Structure 1
């Protein structure tokens, strides 16, 4: 009896005990379904949340001069003050990075500003920001009404503005703001756009913001003749490339700023993906917990499979005696029972993997929108575990069957 004949005999035995095979396969299916389902759900939720965080700017980083928020001395030692990032430096960086990322330049023009319309005025709590053509995109700001700035308005510094939702409610109340005029910082601006309301997600400050073209902001005189400090935000399509692009950006910015070799940078880079990093850590714990739960379920399934295989050995004692009398060796008998256990596990595993994928994606879809995920890694792991369970659960019954005495087996009732 060779290996091929053993496989055929095992399949015939499985077919002859179809109901028992189905029930045994269901035990394995439930175990694999719990394992693959939990891990698929974690991966799917992670994918969905990663996309959400990316849309909130998690795939970006900011560049500012080092020590821009210094508050004097620390520990009795005065902190070093680095020069501000000039407009020439910011534009040079933007030009050199434009092939690999979307770069926006912005500058804080004024805070605690009073803004007036023809009939109303705000409290002195409005922030004025100058932004370039990529500012709305990199800051993930959406327009509720109106339009963004045109290329002409950006290039020549036109007096146009995009206002926050609270400013519209304060100055224009029940009438349309688009096309109206505002006065602030000694200039008259035409409203061309209105931002979507941010509400409490930004402490309300996002709704008290006015955006003007960066070139317009550069033309507005600064108190005491001080220079604007430019903020640089770099966004990339794929969050997993963030470290690589940050390294490239560091090299370009050092060159642009003229930082000598061996000296520290005169600027600092701040990642915007802390949410994704936290998610990675949490999902790692969830995967460990899911694997442990699935493993415990599979352990119970393997015990059930071993019990059923033991029953099968007892039921087929006379059959084993006949095979041995006809010349079957102990190895061939052991091989036959092992093959049966492995085939049952694989069949149950395929069903469990399918149900697990559907269950995992179903759970994830209840939490947030995301693409349908097939976790190939966990599919391979699941099938590997199925084979391992089949070998472990089937070995002892197969070993017991191979050791039966043919004469005693033929007498067995």
Structure 2
């Protein structure tokens, strides 16, 4: 008489079989765990970086753009770069004075991105950025001053030796000491600290907390570049169309640069939202690549699981014969092996998800990303584990259910 078993009984039998073959189960689960760890780890790291870049650029606002020397922005891919005339300070100043739309404008000059800051016996790594600007830099670049103050009009007018430092610079040089009005060396120049920026992070990899901001005229004095190129950051005040505003800015700056009607722009306007779109495109590519790598790894794990389940069927041939002899139907045998494969996959998958999330977040945080719990990818990984268990266990389960009970009982 055929014997029917409930789902709970099938799970119980599968767990008993798993417990009786711990070494084989552990090795099989490890294969699945490695595959899931690779998938979840890569996608967690990408998700952390994605959320960080989104937050970082959202602080700049939707109505901001930068005028800079053409070809000096973020570049993806290779190719020879054409050299265009530098944007001079007098050109940037004329734009600031003549741009009539309501806006906040900062003129910037990057002096160095590999400077060393020193205070007493403490010093930073050679990765400090020295940037010259005016009092509007804080607003146009999404910074906040946590300690001290911004530049005064007198300091900007005379190019005073004052500096506003980033959070990381403060932590390296002053530990728990108050940095305000202390004198530090940045490169070979001495400055008095008047302010400290609130933590910002390394937006798009540019070291936002390793910044030393000095007056723009002081930056002109200490730069080692013979013909430096300035940039102009513009934050539009009000709800006006950014397309209209950038069009007005382009027309004005072409006039300042004395370009005739037929000449192409020898400068570029980079909108904050376009930078984010570029980075989002790169992150999407990373996500697809990470998903592909994870799937390939899991495909190998699925093949390994199927082979081990086939070995299990061979080892348990006599057991299958006994069960069939006492009334177990092919469907019961098939369900038992399928459930066993799925349970092994879920055990390995849970371990892989935990390890993958931990490793992915370590990678993301180490490159200034955010700590995230990627619920979508975790649920997807769990569903994938179930599918892999069913797919890998189907053929071994079918083979087990088709065994002839008489031949199976003779098997030694």
Aligning the two structures, in what range does the TM-score lie when normalised by the shorter sequence?
0.5 to 0.7
Matches within 5 A, 1:87-98: 90=102
Distance, in Å, in 2 between the alignment partners of 1:4 and 1:331 is 15
> Is the 8 Å Cα contact of residues 60 and 233 (structure 1) preserved in structure 2?
no
Which ranges in structure 1 are unaligned for 5 or more consecutive residues? 65-83, 91-103, 109-126, 151-159, 179-192, 210-230, 235-245, 258-264
> Offset of 1:50 from its aligned partner?
3.8
Task: Go from structure 1 to structure 2 and tell me whether the alpha carbon gap of 1:204 and 1:168 turns closer, same or farther (over 3 Å shift).
Answer: farther
1:25 corresponds to 2:29: yes
> Offset of 1:317 from its aligned partner?
0.9
1:13 corresponds to 2:17: yes
Matches within 5 A, 1:186-225: 195=215
Provide the aligned C-alpha RMSD in A: 4.3
Matches within 5 A, 1:63-78: none
Counterpart for residue 376 of structure 1: 375
Counterpart for residue 179 of structure 2: none
1:136 corresponds to 2:138: yes
> Is the 8 Å Cα contact of residues 35 and 291 (structure 1) preserved in structure 2?
yes
Q: Which moved more, 1:357-366 or 1:391-400?
A: 357-366
Which 4+ residue blocks in structure 1 deviate beyond 6 angstroms? 141-146, 173-178, 196-200, 265-270
Counterpart for residue 218 of structure 1: none
Distance, in Å, in 2 between the alignment partners of 1:22 and 1:32 is 15
Counterpart for residue 177 of structure 2: none
Counterpart for residue 163 of structure 1: 156
> Is the 8 Å Cα contact of residues 41 and 361 (structure 1) preserved in structure 2?
yes
Distance, in Å, in 2 between the alignment partners of 1:177 and 1:8 is 69
> Offset of 1:359 from its aligned partner?
0.9
Deviation track 1:225-263 (CA, whole Å, cap 9, x = no partner) reads: xxxxxx6525xxxxxxxxxxx9x6449x99xx9xxxxxx
> Offset of 1:142 from its aligned partner?
7.2
Matches within 5 A, 1:7-406: 7-54=11-58, 57=60, 59-62=61-64, 90=102, 105-106=104-105, 136-140=138-142, 147-148=149-150, 160-163=153-156, 168=161, 195=215, 232-233=235-236, 249-250=240-241, 271-366=271-366, 368-406=367-405
> Offset of 1:51 from its aligned partner?
4.1
Distance, in Å, in 2 between the alignment partners of 1:206 and 1:144 is 27
Q: Which moved more, 1:377-386 or 1:338-347?
A: 377-386
> Is the 8 Å Cα contact of residues 344 and 390 (structure 1) preserved in structure 2?
yes
> Offset of 1:275 from its aligned partner?
2.3
Aligned length: 286
Q: Which has the greater radius of gyration?
A: 1
Deviation track 1:185-232 (CA, whole Å, cap 9, x = no partner) reads: xxxxxxxx95498798x996669x9xxxxxxxxxxxxxxxxxxxxx65
> Is the 8 Å Cα contact of residues 29 and 344 (structure 2) preserved in structure 1?
yes
Deviation track 1:51-100 (CA, whole Å, cap 9, x = no partner) reads: 44455x3x332489xxxxxxxxxxxxxxxxxxx986xx84xxxxxxxxxx
Q: TM-score, normalised by structure 1?
A: 0.58
Which ranges in structure 2 are unaligned for 5 or more consecutive residues? 67-97, 108-131, 163-188, 195-212, 251-268
> Offset of 1:283 from its aligned partner?
1.0
> Is the 8 Å Cα contact of residues 106 and 140 (structure 2) preserved in structure 1?
no
